Amino acid sequence: MNVWSPLTIGLVAGAAGVLVTAGAITYLKLRRKKDPAELERLRRVSLGRTGRIISGEITGLIEPEGENLAPLLLVYRYDLAGVTYEVAQDVSMMPAVVAVAGRMVGQAISVKYEMKHPGNSITVCEEWSGIRGVNLREPGGSDLPVPAEAAKKS
């Protein structure tokens, strides 16, 4: 039977610790970091699946000016427990919403919010829409009526 000395046990343990530390550092350096757009998409989908629903209203639209690549922001408001939340959500990646965005100001909507952080909310995501008449399955798909002046321009 081979008996290890305390020095040998210490050296083996130290070497194992160095290897584990080196492996952890390598993993952290090489793992793929998600870009901000992917993190936002994951937030929207999570809220779409788990958020609580409350009614709200679209209060405005912030459109990009000129040729810049600024997002199209849908501004909406909802009241919860005596607090009014006013939020802007980037909807530029959702063609069905972009197609009807100009006609939605003042419209009643459904909002999904996180119970622990009620300011974290959405009104539309890839899997759910709180905007009545917007069909997310088809690009530009909407069941909203076209105003008379918009129909004359077509």
- Mean pLDDT computed over 55-82: 85
Number of structural domains, the chain?
2
3-state secondary structure (DSSP) of residue 10: helix
Inform me whether the pLDDT recorded for 93 exceeds 50: yes
Inform me whether the pLDDT recorded for 143 exceeds 90: no
- Residue 122 and residue 70 share a domain: yes
Distance (Å, whole) CA 53 – CA 141: 23
153 lies in some domain: no
- Mean pLDDT computed over 45-66: 88
154 lies in some domain: no
- Residue 83 and residue 18 share a domain: no
Whether the full predicted model's pTM is greater than 0.75, yes or no, is no
- Residue 42 and residue 80 share a domain: yes
% of the chain beyond a pLDDT of 90:
32
| Residue 91 DSSP code | -
Across all residues in the chain, what is the average pLDDT? Answer: 82
pLDDT of residue 145: 41
pLDDT of residue 125: 87
9 lies in some domain: yes
The per-residue pLDDT for range 72-82, each reduced to its tens digit, is: 888 999 999 99
pLDDT of residue 84: 94
13 lies in some domain: yes
- Residue 19 and residue 60 share a domain: no
Range of the domain at 11: 1-31
| Residue 129 DSSP code | B
- Residue 92 and residue 124 share a domain: yes
Most confident of the ranges 11-20, 56-65, 85-94, 141-150 = 11-20
75 lies in some domain: yes
* H or E, element range at 59: strand 52-62
127 lies in some domain: yes
- Residue 131 and residue 65 share a domain: yes
Q: How far is CA 80 from CA 88, 91, 140, in A?
A: 17, 23, 31
- Residue 56 and residue 111 share a domain: yes
C-alpha angle 34/39/40, rounded to 5°? 150
Inform me whether the pLDDT recorded for 55 exceeds 70: yes
pLDDT of residue 138: 56
Chain mean position to CA 151: 33
